[in-house]
Amino acid sequence: MTLKIKDMKNSEELKQIVKDKYSEIALQSKTENETSCCGAGGCCTVDYAVFAEDYTKLGGYNADADLGLGCGIPTEFAQINKGDIVLDLGSGAGNDCFVARALTGESGKVIGVDMTEVMITKARENAEKLNFNNVEFRLGDVESLPIGGNRIDVVISNCVLNLVPDKVKAFAEMYRVLKPSGHFSVSDVVLKGNLPANLKNDAEMYAGCVSGAIQLNDYMNIIHNAGFTAISIQKEKPVVLPNEILSKYLSTQEIEQYKLGEFGIFSVTVYGQKSCCEPNSGCC
């Protein structure tokens, strides 16, 4: 079963589908997840490697926490400093949290939020094994974060926001919890240009993370409208679909345009900063 946004009747139904699938994913190995449509299971005829990133040489990396579900390495660009309080949205088994903890050090704190109970349990078990007392995992919804306002220095997220039904609420919540002058760095999946509907459907079957992806311009506008400044794309990587899929729907010329990045599916890492001069913040 793939996670198809367009088939969902409402956002609550979508959330339940995502929750059920990621509960299943939590019990699978990294290898199983990397070869099954971004963890969706049983829908691919080709190995899933289109989003693969190598975490193994990063400080804080823990193999038990790596389920192979990301589409980037947001901590690579997140400008995390010693002592920072970092929030990871959709923290899964804790992979990005543990990498962030290596950067913020013992003087900082990392909070992971995930809406899947099984993932939270797995992440807490991993943190306990590592004897980390400054990494915390909370059950919660990205659209309504269980965190007070103006508390977080850096927000990170990895291939999660595309699956959130209300991205406007998600970025508004990120803005709310960040301290004045705090910032985010999130990796996500977006679209550029008009993809034939059937091609997008097949792409979703090939890599389930494509589901819920919106146009890059729309994505950036949501961030801008949430109030963020200094917005930039820190990294952009095309999703490589095999010719066996592309040739069904695109001409030879269109395939070349696709491969040149003129349109298609991309994983991006995006940065944005909360203004220092919030009303009554006292920071300016």
The stretches of the chain forming alpha helices (DSSP H) are 11-25, 30-34, 95-104, 117-129, 167-177, 197-206, 216-225, 243-249, 252-259
Supply the angle between the helices 216-225 and 167-177 in degrees, to the nearest 10: 40
pLDDT value at residue 195: 85
| pLDDT tens digits, one per residue of 58-99 | 999 999 998 888 889 999 999 999 999 999 999 999 999 999
The token pair at 125 is 């078990």
Confidence of residue 203 (pLDDT cuts 50, 70, 90): confident
pLDDT value at residue 200: 83
Confidence of residue 44 (pLDDT cuts 50, 70, 90): very low
The three-class DSSP label of residue 189 is strand
Q: Which is more confidently placed, 191 or 30?
A: 191
The three-class DSSP label of residue 107 is coil
| pLDDT tens digits, one per residue of 9-18 | 466 766 666 6
pLDDT value at residue 17: 66
Distance of CA 1 to the CA centre of its chain: 20
Quote the mean pLDDT of the chain: 85
d(CA 53, CA 34): 11
Residue 279: which residues within 8 A CB-CB, separation 6 or more?
none
pLDDT value at residue 29: 52
**Could you state, in order of their start, the residue ranges of all structural domains in the chain?**
5-273
d(CA 114, CA 90): 5
> Would you say residue 39 has pLDDT above 50?
no
Tell whether the torsion through CA atoms of 269, 52, 208 and 258 is positive or negative: positive
pLDDT value at residue 258: 87
Rounded mean pLDDT, 202-227: 88
What are the backbone angles phi and psi of residue 211, rounded to the nearest 5°? -55, 135
d(CA 30, CA 28): 7
| Contact present, 44 and 206 (Cβ < 8 Å) | yes
Confidence of residue 42 (pLDDT cuts 50, 70, 90): very low
Pairing of strands 152-158, 135-139: unpaired
d(CA 14, CA 23): 14
Q: Which is more confidently placed, 41 or 203?
A: 203
pLDDT value at residue 204: 76
| pLDDT tens digits, one per residue of 114-151 | 999 999 999 999 999 999 999 999 999 999 999 999 99
pLDDT value at residue 4: 42
Give the CATH H-level superfamily of domain 5-273: Vaccinia Virus protein VP39 (3.40.50.150)
d(CA 188, CA 159): 4
pLDDT value at residue 260: 84
C-alpha dihedral, 260 to 262 to 264 to 265, nearest 10°: 80
